[in-house]
Structure 1
């Protein structure tokens, strides 16, 4: 009885083994078909790989200034660092910390601000970012076919739209972008990126363009604009305080000069007088001049402190990896595309050999039997 049970348990394994051998036999018998499909996939893969324009990526790494630990001090900061979480480097009141830099770089105002950046391509031709994306950026041949319906629909709409509605001004309204401007914003946003290492807070900026020189210049501009944005935000309050201190200092200086001049004029006109009233007036003017000088001296000190505060709040970034012109394209990977198409072609051919052909034959036989039954 036990031997019979063992034989019953082994039957599914034997059937499965036989099925696998049968599938392998089918594939081996149709190996010529697999080879043909693989060659066809390789040809299609080569066509696709060489149809995609080459892209060059430039990467810049920035290290922000180290914080004393106001935002992540004590044991909480240590635990967060061990967990790979950065508590921010800009202090507790800083709303733009490194983890928000990717959102800043991808924001519409930041991207639109890059439209008019002057660039020079590898051939020495001067251009701008917007002009380069509109005129000098190529696309695969199939993109023209895929965009044909949209082009036809846009042409039909333009026939029923007045010239005033489609006319575009020289200035860009960030609040209400035109369809063309929105397409450029999306295209440029997909080509620039910013990433922040949560452990080290190292900022990685990258730009991808079809021209290596344009890619390097754009990456360098993005790093400069990001530093300017963060610097302007960080020093905004300090600069306002400095401007107010400068205003007070200018007013105190003018008042001091006027009081000093009044005292000097009165002294020159009343030399040799021994009247008590004249001495009292001279003392009063002298006291006003002294008070004005003290106020001027205090505002001058406050102005120097405000200037020092601006310098203190100005962030400092160390360029770990500067922008360099890439020598090799970052994409497309022709080998990966070729291998992928060959793999898909072989898988499709195997599916047809193992399952598709039998399903089609069984469907045809069923149709033939259904037609033969009424005749009988």
Structure 2
């Protein structure tokens, strides 16, 4: 019995402590043993990090913050009460707009909106390039591996150009049917143009990222201006349509009033000295028609003035909280961080391979043999 107890105690307690001590010590010894290999891996990582860090072009980011103030109910309540007397409550109901500030991200990412930016005039910070945005996109740099990926397509395009001569014509942008090159540029701009809306405060943040700081600021300012105009055009579109309808109605009611006035005046002049009751009755009827036509005509004239004023009142106001400015420092991951990250990965990968991967690989090769 005493012998069994003596055998049980080392079996329960000693292996766990031994395993922990042996694992850590063994790992430390292996790391010390392969330190020269890790030094070499760090050197290779430094070289690769420098090459990759210098190959990635600098990016500059401009952020613009807007606070849209849509037309409120206080400004439109008086107009609605006046217009409802003639147009009816359905025509002037204060229902929420189909387009509001929360749709800014979808508007900025839409193809027609991006195509409108193509002809935006841009200029680089050094002044060497003064052209349109769509032409500037061709001048942007890309890493050397990007040229390697694009080499097959460039070669195929060059071969095709040898056998087919295409006239140099200026193509009109058609959102319904874009060319491959236009579609690629639209997708590229869609990635560097972003809009975010805070649902609580309705603050709209527009972010643009390009390789030249001045071009980035110009494009951000242009995006803000076009977004404002886009929303303004939509908001006043209904008011303009109502105004155009009232102008047509005004002309019709004016002509009706003039016709009724002419009939009454002509009948009155023709039967001035006739004292018949039938003549007086007809004269009174024509006068009532003229008065009724004038009331309708006057009411439509008032509604037309209200509609013209409503066009201005429907325009939303955008308070630019943070305007577009030329950035002084590049954005994104710095070259130092890229270098440190690649060196760290090289050391970790090499150490993992030497400590764990090589032994497993040898076991796999032995099992296959």
Name the TM-score class by shorter chain: 0.7 to 0.9
- Contact 1:52-1:332 at 8 Å conserved across structures: no
Q: How far apart, in 2, do the equivalents of 1:8 and 1:150 lie?
A: 68
The answer as to 2:39 corresponding to 1:39 is no
Q: Which moved more, 1:344-353 or 1:258-267?
A: 258-267
Q: How far apart, in 2, do the equivalents of 1:263 and 1:329 lie?
A: 80
**Superposition deviation, residue 337 in structure 1:** 0.8
Q: How far apart, in 2, do the equivalents of 1:274 and 1:259 lie?
A: 18
Q: Give the 5 Å matches for 1:130-209.
A: 130-134=134-138, 136-155=139-158, 170-209=171-210
- Contact 1:58-1:207 at 8 Å conserved across structures: yes
Q: How far apart, in 2, do the equivalents of 1:253 and 1:221 lie?
A: 45
Q: How far apart, in 1, do the equivalents of 2:236 and 2:13 lie?
A: 78
User: Residues 244 and 68 of structure 1: is their aligned pair in 2 closer, same or farther, counting only changes over 3 Å?
Assistant: closer
The answer as to 2:96 corresponding to 1:96 is no
Match of 2:55 in 1: 51
Match of 1:114 in 2: 117
Q: Give the 5 Å matches for 1:17-96.
A: 17-65=21-69, 93-96=96-99
User: Residues 68 and 261 of structure 1: is their aligned pair in 2 closer, same or farther, counting only changes over 3 Å?
Assistant: closer
Q: How far apart, in 2, do the equivalents of 1:123 and 1:292 lie?
A: 69
**Superposition deviation, residue 259 in structure 1:** 6.7
Q: How far apart, in 1, do the equivalents of 2:345 and 2:201 lie?
A: 41
Q: How far apart, in 2, do the equivalents of 1:290 and 1:186 lie?
A: 64
Q: State TM-score, norm by structure 1.
A: 0.77
- Contact 1:56-1:215 at 8 Å conserved across structures: yes
Q: Which moved more, 1:199-208 or 1:60-69?
A: 60-69
Q: How far apart, in 1, do the equivalents of 2:318 and 2:181 lie?
A: 36
- Contact 2:71-2:315 at 8 Å conserved across structures: no
Match of 2:274 in 1: 276
**Superposition deviation, residue 118 in structure 1:** 1.9
Say which SS state the counterpart of residue 331 (structure 2) adopts: coil
**Superposition deviation, residue 9 in structure 1:** 4.3
Q: Give the 5 Å matches for 1:241-320.
A: 241-253=242-254, 275-276=273-274, 290-320=291-321
- Contact 1:55-1:332 at 8 Å conserved across structures: no
Q: How far apart, in 1, do the equivalents of 2:111 and 2:17 lie?
A: 62
Instruction: Spell out, residue by residue over 1:266-298, the C-alpha distance to the aligned partner (whole angstroms, 9 max, x if none).
Output: 99xx69x95339x97998887666555433321
Instruction: Spell out, residue by residue over 1:290-310, the C-alpha distance to the aligned partner (whole angstroms, 9 max, x if none).
Output: 555433321221112223333
Q: CA RMSD in A?
A: 3.5
Say which SS state the counterpart of residue 60 (structure 1) adopts: strand
Q: How far apart, in 2, do the equivalents of 1:179 and 1:301 lie?
A: 54
Match of 1:226 in 2: 227
**Superposition deviation, residue 63 in structure 1:** 1.3
Say which SS state the counterpart of residue 328 (structure 1) adopts: coil
**Superposition deviation, residue 320 in structure 1:** 1.3
Q: How far apart, in 2, do the equivalents of 1:5 and 1:309 lie?
A: 93
Q: How far apart, in 2, do the equivalents of 1:260 and 1:333 lie?
A: 82
- Aligned pair count reads 340
Match of 1:85 in 2: none
Q: How far apart, in 1, do the equivalents of 2:35 and 2:218 lie?
A: 52
Q: How far apart, in 1, do the equivalents of 2:27 and 2:14 lie?
A: 20
The gaps in structure 2 that reach 5 residues or longer are 74-93
Say which SS state the counterpart of residue 113 (structure 1) adopts: helix
Instruction: Spell out, residue by residue over 1:101-135, the C-alpha distance to the aligned partner (whole angstroms, 9 max, x if none).
Output: 2122111111111111222332344311111112x
Match of 2:88 in 1: none
Q: How far apart, in 2, do the equivalents of 1:353 and 1:202 lie?
A: 53
**Superposition deviation, residue 261 in structure 1:** 7.6
Q: Which moved more, 1:257-266 or 1:120-129?
A: 257-266
